[in-house]
Structure 1
Amino acid sequence: MRVERTGLDGVLLFVPTPHRDDRGLFTRTFDAALAAEHGLDPAAFIQDSQSRSRLGTIRGMHGRSGRGEAKLVRCARGAVHDVLVDLRPGSPTFGRSQAITLDDATFITLYVPPGFLHGFQALTEQTDVCYRIDREHDPSEDLAVRYDDPDLKIDWPLPATAISSRDLSAGTWAQLLDRLT
C-alpha cells in the first residue's frame, strides 16, 4: 500500500495493491502503521458506517462544525464520484474542491481531514460506500450545502436520480461562509 497526497491540503489517498488470482482477489483496506506514519491516529477512528445507493444518487455536501470530523472513505461495491470542498478559512486550499473516483477495482481509501464538505454520486447501479469516522455523530454540528450550489461549481457526471429532502433543502455556500465567520 502506498500513500498519495492530493491537490487539497491534508487530504490523502491510501492506494492498496490488490492480489488477484483465479479465485478473485485479496487486498488490505486499512493499515494502522501506515496511517500513523502519515500523522493519523488509527485508534481515533471510533465508528464505521456504510451507505448503499443506486445509480445517479447524490449524497452531500455534508460537513461538521466545531472540531469537524476526520474520516476514511472507500467504495466497497461499485463506483462513486467523490467530491471534497475545503471549508477551513486558514487553509491554503480554502474554497477549492476536488473530485476523486473511488471504486471496487482500485480499493483506494480517501482520508478526509476535519474541515471539509464531502459528498458523492453513485456511478453504478448498486454502490456501497464505507466510512470510518473519528467522532460520534452530533446532529447539532451538521453542516450542509446544496449539491448544485453555483458557487461550488461541482461537475456531477450523471443526472441526479435521488437526493434526500435534507440535501435538497441545504443552504448555499455563501450562507455557510457567513455562518462560519
Structure 2
Amino acid sequence: MRIEETSLMDVLILVPDPFHDERGLFTRTFDAQIFDDHLGRPGLAASFIQDSQSRSAQGVIRGMHGRSGRGEAKLVRCAHGAVHDVLVDIRKDSPTFGHRQAFRLDDKDFRHLYVPPGLLHGFQALTATADVCYRIDRPHNPAEDLAVAYNDPDLGIDWPLPVTSISSRDARAGSWATLLTQLS
C-alpha cells in the first residue's frame, strides 16, 4: 500500500497493491503501520472504532455531511461499484478552507480516502449499486451533525449524473452561507 497526498490539507489517498492470479485477487485495503508512519502519528490507526457501510443505487447522492466539535476522521472506500466522492474543507484555520476536491472510488483499483476531521463529505453512486465503507474514529452524535445542500450554488459541485434520490435530511440541508456563520 502506498499513500498519496491530495490538494486538500491532510486528506490522503490510500492506494493498495492488489495481487492478481488465476483465482482472482487479494489486496490489503489498510495497513496501520504504513498509515501511522506516513502521518508520523503512532497509534492514530488504532483510534478508528466503528465500521459502517452504505449501499446506494445509481444516481443517489449522500451528502454533504460533516461534524461540529472536534469533527470526525474517517477512512472511506467503495467496496462494490463506483462513486464520485467529494470533500469540502470547513476548517477555518486551514490553507485549503472552502476548497473542494472530487475523487473516483471504485472496486477496480481499491483506492480509498483518509478524511481528517473538519471536512464535509458526500458522494454519488455511479454504478447500478455502490457499497461505500466507512471506518470512523468516534461514536456518532446526532447533535453534532452538519449538512450543506449537495446542490448549493456557492459550493458549485459538479455531480456527474442526474440525481435519482436524496434523503429527506439531505433535502432539508442548509446552505454554505449558513454553515459559514455557524463556523465563526
TM-score normalised per structure 1: 0.99
Tell me how far apart the structure 1 counterparts of residues 165 and 82 of structure 2 sit (CA, whole Å): 16
Tell me how far apart the structure 1 counterparts of residues 38 and 175 of structure 2 sit (CA, whole Å): 34
Tell me how far apart the structure 2 counterparts of residues 22 and 157 of structure 1 sit (CA, whole Å): 35
Equivalent in the alignment of 1:15: 15
Runs of 4+ in 1 over 4 A off after TM superposition: none
- My pick for the range that moved more, 91-100 or 31-40, is 31-40
Gaps of 5+ in 1: none
TM-score normalised per structure 2: 0.97
Tell me how far apart the structure 1 counterparts of residues 20 and 156 of structure 2 sit (CA, whole Å): 38
Equivalent in the alignment of 1:174: 177
Tell me how far apart the structure 1 counterparts of residues 24 and 96 of structure 2 sit (CA, whole Å): 40
- My pick for the range that moved more, 19-28 or 97-106, is 19-28
1:38 offset after TM fit, Å?
2.1
Q: How does 1:1-181 map to 2 (within 5 A)?
A: 1-39=1-39, 41-181=44-184
1:126 offset after TM fit, Å?
1.0
Gaps of 5+ in 2: none
Q: Secondary structure at the match of 2:178?
A: helix
Identical columns (%): 70
How many equivalent pairs are there? 181
Q: CA RMSD in A?
A: 0.6
Q: Secondary structure at the match of 2:180?
A: helix
Tell me how far apart the structure 1 counterparts of residues 126 and 17 of structure 2 sit (CA, whole Å): 23
